[in-house]
Structure 1
Amino acid sequence: MNPKKTYPNYFWFIPFIIYTVIFILPSVLGLLYSFTNWTIYSSQKTFCGLENYKVLLGDSMFKSGFGNTIAFTVLTTICKTALGFALALALNTKMRTRNALRTVFYLPAVLSTLIVGIIFKSILMPNTGLLNQLFHIFSPALGANDWLGQPSTAMASVIFVEIWRGSGFCMIIILAGLQSISSEYYEAATIDGATGWQKFRTITLPLMMPTLNTVISLNVIGGLKVFDLIIALTKGGPGFSTEVLSTTVYKYLGNGAMGVGSAANMCLTIFIILIFAIVNGGLSRMEADQ
């Protein structure tokens, strides 16, 4: 479209209708269904008020999913951002193999999350998995660990896989931000006798705040709505040790509890919007202060 040309007002109408039908209407219907006792075993949708939300507050699966979602989001966001930043700093130098290493570290982000889950599920198998076979060389006891089958190690294993998968993506975004910083700042700091740490603290970090804001926001949203990696690795088990809010919604709807599932989905949506607003607002203030 020509940005200098004036188009009729009705040009916005068709996109608005499409957006309403695809996004707004399903959201409104989901909100309405969350106040009904609708199940797939009954065609009636009777209004039940906040009963579905009361059911969620007393459900151990939902409460476990809520806590696990927060833990998963916090740990993966911190680790992926920190590791991505470290990799970006290391590969922003003039080493000969930097392009090859960038490709290697970014490659996991290109793979399908389900494929990554299937690969690591085979790697983490208790008897035939590659990791246990490697550990068995040094310690037979450690080499018999069921990484995904024990509540004490299942969530940690899932978090490790997500960090491995997403750190390269963070690296690429941060690397682009680093390359946008003019070298004149560092040259002036060198003339003034600044150390490497002083350059990082006074030049790199402040100028990278907009980029870090983007990376952290993307990681927070991705962590809060994680689904496919959990399904591929553990399906929320053992027990509720790796249950997250998205898999909780999936199980409610899969069991036919459409009203309760809609209520859980609304809780997830509101939770994502709230956390994103808090995180993005805090990072934006830090960005403005720099």
Structure 2
Amino acid sequence: MATTTAEPSDAGPSLQSGAHPTSSTPKTLDETTPFVDYAVQQAQLYQKAFNDALDSAVEYSKSRLSQIRSTSSAHSQQFLGALHDLKSDYNAYEELLFGKIKEGVHIASSHPIITCGAAASLSFVVLKRPRRFMYYNALRLFVSEEALIKRATLQVGELRQVIESIKAESEKLEKRALHAEEEFLRGRTKLRQAGKQIQSVIQSAYKIERKARGLKDILGDLPKREASHFRSQVSKLASEAKNERNTLTKEVSKISNYGISV
């Protein structure tokens, strides 16, 4: 009995010591609950706004698709109607054309003389030679013979004047060509003669160069002072002769390029 009565007295302090944390936990829950509810409400509002926007976009797309479908069907119906009208008009014109052709063939077969006359008259109008023949025959009917002779005489005179002017111009051109040919031949002759003269001058330049080399050998026997003075003069003359020879050789090459043998 003593043990059973002592258990409540031991449990009392333990229960009292655990009462303080249980009282602080509801206090923190009461403080955080309004924030959670507000966040949940805002999330619900955003979700609702998003769903409304999505529904409105879907409805707008459906309405636009229906409008496009209706307008495209209307345009296609209009195009098909216009195509049908065009086809009916083409058939009508085709029937009318073939009807006229059949009627013309029937008339031509029933009136062969009129058809031949119409074909002959059409050939006279369309073809060049029959048209010219018909024109001159009609002109003879309405114009006198003297007028035709006068007109023909004038035309022949004009042709004779044109031919005379052509002859005079051709004579001038022939004279000019003959003169140019003579000048060309004379120029060729002059160029050939000039080339030969240049060749002779080149040979003279060669001789001068050989003499200059011979003089250099002779000057070796003279005293050194006088030999150096003459040697410089001889070398200068030899170089001048060589330069002239090279220049004349180029001129001969130019003449040869014109096809003139030198």
Q: Normalized against structure 1, the TM-score is what?
A: 0.21
> TM-score, normalization: structure 2?
0.23
Per chain length, whose mean CA-contact separation is higher, i.e. which structure has more relative contact order (CA < 8 Å, sep 6+)? 1
Answer 1 or 2: which has greater helix percent.
Answer: 2
- Please say which structure displays the higher CA radius of gyration: 2
